[in-house]
Amino acid sequence: MFLGLVAHLAFWVVLLIGAHEWGWRRTATFVALWVAGYGGSGRLAAGGFLCGSWVAVLDGVLVLLVFKGDVRLR
């Protein structure tokens, strides 16, 4: 559960960073993908075990798009 919360937090932070650069269309696309994953994963019915994984995939794509590649850790 904690990792899912971290994934959601990272998603919204990176999305806000990228929103300034992209405009509303790409930002709305990622929000729509997040909503589809939230609703489609059964989060409301079964505890949402797949929602964290879906958001983690979206996080990876967002990091690659926003930072134009991988993030350096040094």
The residue behind tokens 């589809």 is: 36
More confident residue, 4 or 9: 9
Predicted TM-score (pTM) of the model is 0.74
More confident residue, 49 or 66: 66
Please write the tens of the pLDDT for every residue from 21-55.
888 898 999 999 888 877 776 655 555 555 667 78
Rounded CA-CA distance 13/15 in Å is 5
Region of residue 70 (phi > 0: left; psi between -120 and 50: alpha; otherwise: beta): beta
Q: How many other CB atoms are found less than 10 A from the CB of residue 1?
A: 9
Contact partners, residue 43, CB within 8 Å, separation at least 6:
51
